[in-house]
Structure 1
Amino acid sequence: MEADTVKRIGIIGVGEIGRAIVMGLCDGAEGTNGAEAASGADGPPEVFLSPRGARTAAELSERYEGVRVCADNQQVVDRSEIVLIAVRGQDRHEALADLRVADDKIVVNVMAGVGNDDLRRTLATDAPLVRAIPLPAIRERRSVTVTYPSHPVVDSLFEGLGGALPVADEAAFNVFSALTGTLTTHYAYLAALTSWAGHHGIAPDDADRYIRGLFQGVGRSLSDQTRSLHQLAADHETPNGSNERIRTTWFTPANSEALNKALDDLLDLLSDLRGRP
């Protein structure tokens, strides 16, 4: 199967990530490099959704002409060339029970903490299995997706959805998986800033609007890959200024060590889960 000839993609488990992948495949962001690789020269691929997550699946099938909801998970597999499994890890045995996956399919495993050896035992297939970490921004084709092991078809698919980052082994994959666990902490940090402003008499809507604008600017600066993250931080600081004061008094060595420990603990958990039933 050539990367640019994939025309049928199935998704089992249509939650937030499943929805984002469908949106990235079917519309995405105009002008994004590699968009043609995801959608193909003749438009987006056909997408087959499991009935799991029925409300989201129905909404997507109504919105996009090439998206269909299947009667069951077996029909998703049978109609697709690539099958993305996006159910919650704890639900995988129920969702995938008795599923027959032919060896000529490609299976993309996006279940956090579920290794490919575990999934292969569940599916009892010799089909290629690839782990991936798609993030919600994939809906706009602006998310780099980590994959393991590298597979030309899967890597090409994600390259067209914002970028692919193949890694050498499952240990490296788990490091990137742990990093994704920091995402909601960032949102909670921004919410804490708006709450602080509210305690000092700022209207909640005004604080929310300002914080969003402030950090959207930070997000745009991250696209400048000519400067390291340390350099970006330095460029936004004035010696003895406000930014330096908050960084050095709040993000202390003890604070940094606590973050490292939280990530180490999560990495240990993810590594332990790889072969757990």
Structure 2
Amino acid sequence: MLKRIGIIGVGEIARAMVKGLCEGSAEAPEIYLSPRGARTAAELSERYDSVRVCSDNQEVVDRADLVIVAVRREDRHEALDAIALGDSQIVVNVMAGVGNDELRRMLGTDASLVRAIPLPAIHERRSITVVCPGHPVVNALFEQTGGVLPVADEAAFNVFSALTGTLTAHYWYLATITSWAVEQGIAAEDADHYVRGLFQALGRALADESRTLAQLAADHETPGGSNERIRTTWFDAANSAALTKALDGLLAQLN
């Protein structure tokens, strides 16, 4: 088991990773946090005995066997230009839009570099994390937090990265149908409560991997029924094409 982990950039994803690794764990790893995101770092160090806040990013690197880089893309030079890594260390790159080749040039190291897409549900150990390339130590790390999906190259990695861009569109869909119910005279709190319960129950069906997503959709429809009506009149060919076009554009930007 990996014993010493450093995290540079302590935002929401870093917070989720620390919780996923430490919450309820009998053997939580030592985790060293950069001072960036001071409030979150202080909160985590107070909550978990194995978490420490370092004086600067170099101290994070010096104390860790595996370093997770979780700063925003626009902050990467400020955070990383002055640090020195050992070639035996492992770096996990969770920065959106920053490839491993660019990161290697910035760091000037022969250390192992792995890109990853940890999602907020990692704090509940329920998130599949895509990594590129697969690495035995990194794979084992993310197996502890819900599972790992290694992909062979960054072209494939970017497809999965584009998929994560659909998350808030899903929430906005739920907000839109809730607002429609309110316009029909339903109390806002009742509409919100019902929609949340409706889709939480639907989401649990995703655990059944014996059925494809298309089969799950079909199993929730009856010919001529309400679900079929909304799917075929709202989510029509033009709507599907618009979504595909949006994903194509995002993927082109990521590539």
- Whether TM-score is above 0.5 comes out as yes
* Among candidates 209, 213, 216, match of residue 197 of structure 2: 213
In the aligned structure 2, how far is the partner of 1:202 from the partner of 1:96? Answer: 52
TM-score, L = length of structure 2: 0.98
Report SS of the residue matched to 2:127. Answer: coil
Q: Over the residues paired in the alignment, what is the CA RMSD in angstroms?
A: 0.9
List per-residue Cα deviations over 1:139-190 (Å, max 9, x = no partner): 0010000000110000111011100000011100000000000011111111
1:11 aligned onto 2:7:
yes
Q: Distance in 2 between matches of 1:184 and 1:65?
A: 34
Cα distance in 1 for partners of 2:77, 2:252 equals 23
Segments ≥4 residues shifted beyond 2 Å: none
Structure 1 residue 219: Cα displacement: 1.0
Amino acid at match of 1:27: E
Structure 1 residue identity aligned to 2:117: I
Name the structure 2 match of 1:90. Answer: 74
Unaligned runs of 5+ in 1: 29-38, 272-277
Which residue of structure 2 aligns with residue 165 of structure 1? Answer: 149
Corresponding letter in the other structure for 1:102: G
**Matching of residues 215-234 of structure 1 within 5 Å:** 215-234=199-218
Helix, strand or coil at the partner of 1:100: coil
How do 1:182-193 residues align onto structure 2 when only pairs under 5 Å count? 182-193=166-177
How many angstroms apart in 2 are the aligned matches of 1:212 and 1:46? Answer: 37
May I ask how many residue pairs the two structures share in their alignment? 255
Where structure 2 has 5 or more consecutive residues not aligned to the other structure, the ranges are none
Work out whether 1:139 is the aligned partner of 2:123.
yes
Residue 61 (1) aligns with residue 45 (2): yes
For 2:16, the equivalent position in structure 1 comes to 20
Structure 1 residue corresponding to 2:61, chosen from 77, 100, 104: 77
Q: Which residue of 2 aligns with 1:149?
A: 133
Within 2, Cα distance between the matches of 1:54 and 1:259? 38
Higher relative contact order (CA 8 A, sep 6+): 1
Q: Distance in 2 between matches of 1:170 and 1:97?
A: 23
Secondary structure of residue in 1 paired with 2:82: coil
